[in-house]
């Protein structure tokens, strides 16, 4: 009789070892859960040993029960250890997967840059600032009166057709997108009269034209305006030459050709000697030797009067130049549509 419990206790020991080997082999959460059910669950192989306790001698039962309980506790502890090391492993590998090596060089974020039209505008404004011209900003949505009439275009004057206009709907053609920066002359005179003026006025202008490689419906201009006593055409020439020599280089020459604008009298268009052939004629200047860069003239007495000045006391000059066209010539940009095409391969080449 005495040998049977010993054999039974030895069996408990064997089962416990088998369970331990199985636990070692159980990899992963599902395997661990299955192991727990198989060995320690309600009908588990260790737990159900207690059911055979009734077949034993009463004297042997306590030792047997204690042995089963001990095995059960041991396995329970082994299971807890395995489960928590499994959790620690999962945490460690998750951390490893998400690890950031702060010593690695970073990925630089793409850097923004100024738009080429802004770059050229600022460069020109810097030059004029150096020459004593202050920046004056005016509105892009203008009154027809200011864009045309006060600039000496009477209603139905054919010169209005020089610039095709976007009108703002519902305003009976009284409000429009400025077709040039010249209405800013009227705004500036209104702000400064009767004091002298020396300003540059940059910004976007709009023309209702067909978009082609050479013409856009929106582009920038820089207007210049000087008003005061004794301002002459020589001051205009000196200013234009000063700008050309700073912007294009000291060896470039200028040429004034008579022209017509309703708001200047006399009026001129200015050419600069071609930088590629120095006047000999080439592909860039289309064999002319010269490149047209701006329109200008002495402010018309009617315009001075409309601006609040007495044309008997002050005179003035004005000019308007197209920075984008100057930039296109300088960089050999052959299609103005690149400017608003938003292709970064174009935009990235500037600045």
Beta carbon nearer to ligand PHE, 99 or 234: 234
Take residue 21 and report the two structure tokens written for it. Answer: 């080997």
Q: How many CB atoms lie within 10 A of CB 44?
A: 17
Beta carbon nearer to ligand PHE, 47 or 149: 149
Q: In 3-state terms, what secondary structure has residue 136?
A: coil
CB of 295 to ligand PHE, least distance (A): 3
Q: Residue 278 in contact with residue 334, Cβ under 8 Å?
A: no
CB of 269 to ligand PHE, least distance (A): 8
Beta carbon nearer to ligand PHE, 74 or 259: 259
CA distance 333 to 312: 45
164 — alpha (psi -120 to 50), left (phi > 0) or beta? Answer: beta
CA distance 219 to 301: 29
Q: Residue 38 in contact with residue 22, Cβ under 8 Å?
A: yes
Q: Work out whether the CA dihedral 46, 51, 55, 58 comes out positive or negative.
A: positive
Beta carbon nearer to ligand PHE, 39 or 128: 128
Beta carbon nearer to ligand PHE, 36 or 202: 202
CB of 263 to ligand PHE, least distance (A): 6
Beta carbon nearer to ligand PHE, 60 or 292: 292
Beta carbon nearer to ligand PHE, 67 or 236: 236
The residues that touch ligand PHE, with contacts defined as CB under 6 A, are: 180, 182, 223, 261, 264, 295-297, 318-320
Beta carbon nearer to ligand PHE, 182 or 239: 182
CB of 266 to ligand PHE, least distance (A): 11
Closest CA to 200 of 283, 312, 121: 121
CB of 213 to ligand PHE, least distance (A): 20
CB of 235 to ligand PHE, least distance (A): 14
In sequence order, the β-bridge partners of residue 316 are 227
CA distance 275 to 277: 6
Take residue 335 and report the two structure tokens written for it. Answer: 């299609």
Output the residue with the shortest Cβ distance to ligand PHE.
320
Provide CB contacts within 8 A for 287, sequence distance 6+: 281
CA distance 310 to 277: 45
Helix (H) or strand (E) holding 10: helix 3-25
- Beta-sheet pairing, 218-228 with 315-321: antiparallel
CB of 207 to ligand PHE, least distance (A): 9
CB of 348 to ligand PHE, least distance (A): 30
């Amino acid at each position: 009789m005495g040998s049977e419990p010993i054999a039974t206790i030895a069996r408990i020991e064997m089962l416990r070892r088998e369970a331990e080997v199985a636990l070692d082999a159980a990899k992963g959460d599902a395997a661990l859960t299955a192991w727990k059910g198989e060995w320690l669950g309600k009908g588990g192989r260790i737990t159900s040993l207690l059911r055979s306790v009734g077949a034993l001698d009463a004297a042997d039962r306590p030792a047997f029960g204690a042995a089963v309980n001990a095995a059960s506790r041991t396995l329970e502890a082994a299971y807890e250890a395995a489960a928590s090391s499994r959790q620690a492993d999962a945490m460690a590998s998750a951390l490893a997967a998400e690890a950031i090596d702060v010593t690695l060089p970073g990925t630089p974020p793409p850097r923004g840059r100024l738009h080429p039209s802004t770059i050229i505008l600022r460069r020109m404004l810097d030059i004029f600032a150096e020459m004593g011209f202050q920046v004056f900003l005016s509105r892009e949505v203008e009154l027809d009166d200011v864009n045309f009439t006060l600039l000496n275009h009477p209603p139905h004057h054919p010169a209005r057709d020089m610039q095709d206009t976007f009108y703002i709907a519902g305003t009976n053609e009284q409000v429009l997108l400025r077709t040039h920066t010249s209405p800013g002359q009227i705004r500036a005179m209104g702000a400064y009269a009767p004091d002298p003026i020396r300003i540059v006025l940059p910004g976007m202008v709009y023309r209702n034209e067909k978009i082609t490689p050479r013409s856009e419906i929106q582009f920038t201009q820089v207007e210049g305006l000087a008003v005061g006593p004794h301002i002459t055409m020589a001051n205009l020439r000196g200013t234009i030459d000063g700008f050309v020599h700073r912007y294009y280089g000291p060896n470039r020459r200028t040429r004034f050709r008579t022209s017509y604008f309703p708001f200047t009298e006399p009026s001129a268009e200015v050419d600069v000697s071609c930088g590629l052939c120095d006047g000999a004629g080439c592909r860039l200047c289309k064999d002319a030797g010269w490149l047209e860069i701006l329109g200008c003239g002495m402010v018309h007495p009617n315009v001075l009067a409309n601006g609040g000045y007495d044309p008997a006391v002050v005179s003035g000059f004005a000019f308007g130049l197209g920075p984008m066209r100057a930039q296109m010539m300088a960089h050999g940009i052959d299609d103005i549509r690149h400017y608003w095409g938003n292709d970064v391969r174009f935009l990235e080449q500037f600045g």
